[in-house]
Amino acid sequence: MAEFVKTVESSRVPPGSMLTVEAGGESILLANVDGEYFGMGAICTHEQWDLSEGSMDGTAVTCAGHGSVWDLRTGRAVFDEPLEDEPLYEVKEEGGFLFVRKR
């Protein structure tokens, strides 16, 4: 995914929320932290829970599965065992839609 791919209307990801979308054959977690958009792999690398089912506090996303805490800025998790990093995506808003591309 070298080029930007169109996803959903930006109104679907208001500040303080996150949403999992499929784009370019990948599941991507779109998150809006105080108006700034972040994109990260959406499927927890522990046991594949969808991270959008968890909770968000600033750029920290807690997995609803077993409580790993992901950093939207780095794609890294804090957990009681090492977890594989999530991929990161660049997110831009254009014409009322969110576009993503892999970093």
d(CA 67, CA 44): 10
**Which strands sit side by side in the sheet containing 5-9, from one edge to the other?**
5-9, 97-102, 88-94, 36-41, 26-33, 18-23
Please spell the DSSP secondary structure of 73-93, one letter per residue. Answer: TTTEEE-SS--PPPPEEEEEE
* Least distance from ligand FES to the Cβ atom of residue 93, Å: 28
Q: What is the DSSP letter of 51?
A: G
User: Does residue 68 touch ligand FES according to CB under 6 A?
Assistant: yes
User: Does residue 44 touch ligand FES according to CB under 6 A?
Assistant: yes
* Least distance from ligand FES to the Cβ atom of residue 81, Å: 9
* Least distance from ligand FES to the Cβ atom of residue 35, Å: 27
Q: Which range in 1-9, 15-23, 31-39, 58-66 contacts ligand FES by CB under 6 A?
A: 58-66
Binding site for ligand FES (CB under 6 A): 44, 46-47, 49, 63, 65-68
